[in-house]
Structure 1
Amino acid sequence: MILEASNLSLRRNGSYLLKDVNWTINKGEHWSLLGLNGSGKTTLLNILNGYIWPTEGTISVLGNRFGTCDLGDLRKKIGWVSNSLQEKMPPTNNPLQIALSGVYASIGLYEEPSEDTIAKAVQLLTEFGCEEFIERNYNTLSQGEKQKVLIVRALMAEPDLLILDEPCTGLDLFAREQLLLMIQKVAEKEGGPTLIYVTHHVEEILPCFSHTLLLKAGEVFQKGQTDEVMTSATLSKFFGTSLQLEERRKRKWLSLV
């Protein structure tokens, strides 16, 4: 079991940020988490990583029940890529240094990696198309290039669970599609991590995401297999307006009716 959340709720100042969230992820499943801004996505992610404690309910991640495990050790098995992490990276480090820091879960590289570890980082950076800018300072990279490097950094630690928190935010069309292609490759890697992809854009949900959870106002609106959840009728109710869902090249695309 990758994730088992039971009746998760979080209250602040008398209001629910999350309410009665039940969510199970089995090994071999990749999930998308879809919700508008303010739906509770980031709050839920913080709970999954043990940074926020729920007011009610129980949660287990990678077989570790919160309250009975060392969260520090657990976090080493979870990769998390977000825009906020991007801003914390040392600006003058190059992509190789950034990738290597993932082995030590540090912001910046302060240890001397082995030759094998360096070779692994170079191999991953090359595999995912980062070799052309491997020697440039991180602060000179484009938004999309930075996100690629952060995903490689997360993979260096060989996580069992990789959370991608709106990784395409701020990217142009071409950079977005390049990054999504990389994510599809990560999902297809044998022995790779379980993915949770967080977004509020339906068209970013790739074919590899077999399951989808719709989160609205802190509550689970619907969850299950993506093809069953992602319908015109369901998404019209979810977003509160008439929508038409079309499928092109195994991706979903929304338009107003």
Structure 2
Amino acid sequence: MSDVLLRATAVRVTRSGRDLLHDVDLTVRRGEHWALLGPNGAGKSTLLAVLGATGHPTAGSVEILGRRLGRVDVRELREHIAHVDPRHRMLTPLTVHETVLTGRTGTTDLMPRWEPTADDLERADQHVADVGLTARRDARWPVLSQGERGRALIARALMADPQLLLLDEPATGLDVAAREHLLETVDALRHRHPDLGSVMVTHHLEDLPASTSHAMLLRDGAVVAQGDADQVITSSAVSHAFDFPLAIVRSEGRWHARRAVQR
């Protein structure tokens, strides 16, 4: 079994005559946890859509879990990719437990006439417990906090036993306490699923979990730097990507950014 989960080569995405991405190469292996960083409009979400088989490149090639986009049924492929998006649309007010069960069918609602097995129900309860929501198991979506929704979506994603986890700015709209709880959840699941690979999009370094192993910096659709996180998330590289003087510090595994003092 190959350890390569994702391989993007010379990817270009063009919309309305404008390149949103150009000449992007990326390889993600099992157990690697990548961060896609850059300012608004850098191309992060566009790249994540391609990696999740919900978007297609204009040029270049993308292999996901050994299957090449354009030569595979993307609906079948998406069953092996977990996508956590805080903008997830909930059509009916499901409970936390029901929301997690929808990860088994890959739908936004419980499928009519579909009955979860005893194993499905047990696994859903275990994932709910793993993200710290047992006490909220029967709470319905409209009354959940944004942080609770984020953790419920992570539990939902794990129902598919994914090999690849994509997180699109999962800390959006969270207060400090909810963000820290969410990132602890992400760190913990990476220990429970050591072969899982992940890619997280964010433009806030403070939103990166300590388990981030690799990073890519994007600016205007092009790669500024990529590789081991400690070699990429540096003051000079991040300042270049954001076109702003920043001082980057890593403390207890977490990154922090502030304006660099000009001397």
Mapping 1:24-63, distance limit 5 Å: 24-63=27-66
Residues 85 and 169 in structure 2, CA contact (< 8 A), matched pair in contact too: yes
2:9 paired residue number: 6
What is the distance in 2 between the residues matched to 1:132 and 1:91? 21
CA RMSD of aligned residues (A): 1.2
Residues 4 and 25 in structure 1, CA contact (< 8 A), matched pair in contact too: yes
Q: Please tell me the residue identity of whatever aligns with 1:97.
A: E
Secondary structure (helix, strand or coil) at the match of 1:2 reads strand
Secondary structure (helix, strand or coil) at the match of 1:67 reads coil
Gaps of 5+ in 2: none
More displaced 10-residue stretch of structure 1: 206-215 or 141-150: 206-215
Mapping 1:165-204, distance limit 5 Å: 165-204=168-207
Residues 186 and 192 in structure 1, CA contact (< 8 A), matched pair in contact too: no
TM-aligned CA deviation for residue 42 of structure 1: 1.3
Runs ≥4 residues deviating over 6 A: none
Residues 30 and 196 in structure 2, CA contact (< 8 A), matched pair in contact too: no
What is the distance in 1 between the residues matched to 2:193 and 2:94? 30
TM-aligned CA deviation for residue 91 of structure 1: 4.0
What is the distance in 2 between the residues matched to 1:195 and 1:48? 11
Residues 34 and 199 in structure 2, CA contact (< 8 A), matched pair in contact too: yes
Q: Please tell me the residue identity of whatever aligns with 2:37.
A: L
Mapping 1:90-239, distance limit 5 Å: 90-110=91-111, 111-239=114-242
More displaced 10-residue stretch of structure 1: 197-206 or 222-231: 197-206
Q: Percent identity?
A: 37
Gaps of 5+ in 1: none
TM-score of the pair, normalised by structure 1? 0.95
Q: Please tell me the residue identity of whatever aligns with 1:102.
A: G
Select 1:75's aligned residue among 54, 73, 78: 78
Residues 12 and 24 in structure 2, CA contact (< 8 A), matched pair in contact too: yes
TM-aligned CA deviation for residue 37 of structure 1: 1.4
TM-score of the pair, normalised by structure 2? 0.93
Count, aligned residues: 255
TM-aligned CA deviation for residue 140 of structure 1: 0.6
Secondary structure (helix, strand or coil) at the match of 2:46 reads helix
What is the distance in 1 between the residues matched to 2:204 and 2:48? 18
